[in-house]
Structure 1
Amino acid sequence: MEINGVAHVMLTVSDFATCLPFYEQLLGFLGLRTIIRADGMLYCVGGRT
């Protein structure tokens, strides 16, 4: 079986506000763009990881 990408990832963190800038930057670097940034949730789409 060949794996050619990742469809969904859900992460749980202990301090969302502190982790948010890191994950936004990382996911942006991977080609994803933020669609929803809400209390306790970051939803990004796009890119091919």
Structure 2
Amino acid sequence: MKSYAGDKDEKPNGQAKESASVANDAAKKAEEKMESIKEEARSEMKRQQKP
């Protein structure tokens, strides 16, 4: 998984572990939502291409 707010075990950017964890969890959820939207769009495109 990508890390967006520094490592959860260290503080490379001065943030607390919890902040990094919360940011990474939010980013992961956003990525999953984006993938879901992409899949929905693909399905819609296929549906519209049918004669």
**Shared fold (TM-score greater than 0.5)?**
no
Greater share of strand residues, 1 or 2? 1
Give the greater-gyration-radius structure (CA).
2
Q: TM-score, normalised by structure 2?
A: 0.29
